[in-house]
Amino acid sequence: MSHTRSTAKARTVRDVVFVDGVRTPFGRAGEKGIYAGTRADDLVVKCIRELMRRNPALPAERIDEVAIAATTQTGDQGLTIGRTAALLAGLPRTVPGFAIDRMCAGAMTAVTTTASGIGFGAYDVVIAGGVEHMGNHPMGAGADPNPRFVAERIVDPAALNMGNTAENLHDRFPAITKDRTDAYAVASQTKLAAAYGKHQIQPDLVPVATMKPGQGWTVNTVDEPPRPGTSTEDLAALRTPFRAHGRVTAGNAAGLNDGATAALLASADAAEELGLPVKMRLVGYAFAGVEPEVMGIGPVPATEKALKNTGLNIEDIGLFEINEAFAVQVLSFLDHFGIADDDPRVNRYGGAIAVGHPLASSGVRLMNQLARQFEEDPSVRYGLTAMCIGLGMGATVIWENPHHADYGTEAAGPSTDTATTTETGAAA
C-alpha cells in the first residue's frame, strides 16, 4: 500500500485594518458615578451592539473571534468575558470569545493579539476591546501579590502602587517638575473641551441608559470625568497623596473610572469583500519591559522597538495618542524623543487626565481618536498609540492613514507586501 504525505498550504502575512471603534462615555468610579448600578459586561454589550449597528454590511456570522480585556477578572468582569459578552450581545453561538489581561494595555493587547491572528490567516473579522468597572472592582481588589516580590527584592515595593511609580519617575527626571505636569494637565482638559466643542468626541460614544434608585433613568451621552476650565492655580492647591511634598496629584493623573470600548478589525481583503470602511492599517507593534518601579517609562523602549521593526523613524510619526496615566509619564516620553510639551501632534483631543482611564479599556479609545484625526488630516501618513503598563511594561502600535496620498504605494517595514506585527518583551 502506498501512502502520500500532505503538504501544509503556505501562508503569507495579510494586511490588517481598523474598521471601526466605539466606546461608552467614561464615568467616575464610585457610588456617585454614572455607572454605579451598571454591570461591566453590559457596558461591553453596548459597544458590541453599536459596532454591529454601525456596520450593517457585516453578517454577524462572519465574526471569527471576540477578545475582551479586563484587569480584574472576577464578578461581572469574569467568566471569560469575551465569550459571555458575545452571547449577551446576540452574536451567533458559533462566534467564540476569550478574556485577556495586560492591565492598562488590555484592550491594546486584545487588538494586537487578534490582529496577529488576522495577519496569519486564522481570522478574517474580529471584535477586540476592553472594560474596567473600577467602582465595582477597585484596582488590585482580590489580588494576592506573592510575598517573594518584596522578600527577595524582585521588585521595589513602590512597584505595587502606580502613584508611587509616578513619583519615582519624577525622581529619575528632575527636569519634569510639578509645574510642568500641572501645565500639561491643564492643556489636556482644554484640548478635550475644544474637541467636544467641535463634535470630535461624540461620534464614537455609545449612549448608555442607567438607573439610579430615586432618580429614575438617565441616558448618558458624554464623559463624566472632564473638568473644563481647570487652571494651574487649581492644581497647585491639590494634595500629593503618594508622597509628602510630592508632585503627583489627582489633577495631573488619570482618575478612577468605569467604561468599555470595542473595535472591529479585519483583513484588508475581507474589508473589501464586505464593503467595510478602512480607518487605519496596522503597520506594527511592540511591547517592552522596564523596571516595575518606574513603569511609566515603558512606552519609550516599546516605541523604539516598534520603530525598528517597521523601518520608521520618530520623525515619520505625524500623530501621537499617548495614554495619560500620569502627566510625568507622557512628558518623559516626549523628552526622550525631543518633542515639545505642547507639540500639536500629541493628544490633539486631550487625554486620560481629562477624559478618564478605565484601565483595560483605554487602548481602543486611543485608536478611535487617532482614526478620527487621520480622517481630519490626510497630510499625516503614520501615527502611533502608546501606553505604560503596570508592573513595568510599555506598549506601542503604529498605524497608517488610508487618506494619505501615498497610502498603499509602499508599506513600511522590511517587506512591501506584508504588515509587520512583532511582539517583543525584552527588558529595557
Q: What is the pLDDT of residues 325-379, one digit of tens each?
A: 999 999 999 999 999 999 999 999 999 999 999 999 999 999 999 999 999 999 9
Burial of 18 (0-12, 13-18, 19+ CB in 10 A): buried
**Distant-in-sequence, close-in-space partners of 225: CB < 8 Å, separation ≥ 6:** 26, 27, 28, 255, 257, 354, 355, 356
Q: What confidence score (pLDDT) does residue 129 get?
A: 98
- Go through the domains of the chain in sequence order and give each one's CATH number: 16-137+154-400 (3.40.47.10)
Catalytic residues, by residue number, are 104, 357, 388
User: Could you read off the pLDDT of 272-319 as tens digits, one per residue?
Assistant: 999 999 999 999 999 999 999 999 999 999 999 999 999 999 999 999
pLDDT higher than 80, residue 149? yes
Q: Which three cell numbers stand for residue 9?
A: 498550504
**For 310, what's the count of Cα atoms within 13 Å in the CB-facing half-sphere?**
32
The C-alpha atoms of residue 110 and residue 21 are separated, in whole angstroms, by 13
DSSP letter at 129? E
The C-alpha atoms of residue 194 and residue 33 are separated, in whole angstroms, by 24
> Bigger pLDDT: 147 or 397?
397
Q: What confidence score (pLDDT) does residue 95 get?
A: 98
The C-alpha atoms of residue 362 and residue 217 are separated, in whole angstroms, by 26
Angle between helix 81-88 and 40-54 (nearest 10): 60
pTM assigned to the model: 0.93
The C-alpha atoms of residue 364 and residue 113 are separated, in whole angstroms, by 13
pLDDT higher than 50, residue 210? yes
Query: For the residues of 168-225, what is the DSSP string, one character each?
Result: HHHHH-TTS-HHHHHHHHHHHHHHHHHHHHTTSSGGGBPPEEEEETTTEEEEE-S-SS
| Span of 140-149, 201-210, 222-231 with lowest mean pLDDT | 140-149
Q: What confidence score (pLDDT) does residue 419 get?
A: 40
The C-alpha atoms of residue 82 and residue 66 are separated, in whole angstroms, by 5
Task: Provide the pLDDT confidence category of residue 142 given band limits of 50, 70 and 90.
Answer: confident
243-to-156, 168, 221, 239, 256 alpha-carbon distances in Å: 16, 10, 36, 9, 19
Q: What confidence score (pLDDT) does residue 344 get?
A: 97
Contact assessment for residue 347 and residue 188, using Cβ atoms and an 8 Å cutoff: yes
DSSP letter at 390? T
**Mean pLDDT estimate for the chain:** 93
User: Could you read off the pLDDT of 15-60 as tens digits, one per residue?
Assistant: 999 999 999 999 999 999 999 999 999 999 999 999 999 999 999 9
Share above pLDDT 70 across residues of the chain, in percent, rounded to a whole number: 93
Q: What confidence score (pLDDT) does residue 427 get?
A: 31
Q: What confidence score (pLDDT) does residue 240 get?
A: 96
pLDDT higher than 80, residue 5? no
Q: Which three cell numbers stand for residue 254?
A: 488619570
Average pLDDT for 380-409: 96
pLDDT higher than 50, residue 249? yes
Task: Provide the pLDDT confidence category of residue 415 given band limits of 50, 70 and 90.
Answer: very low
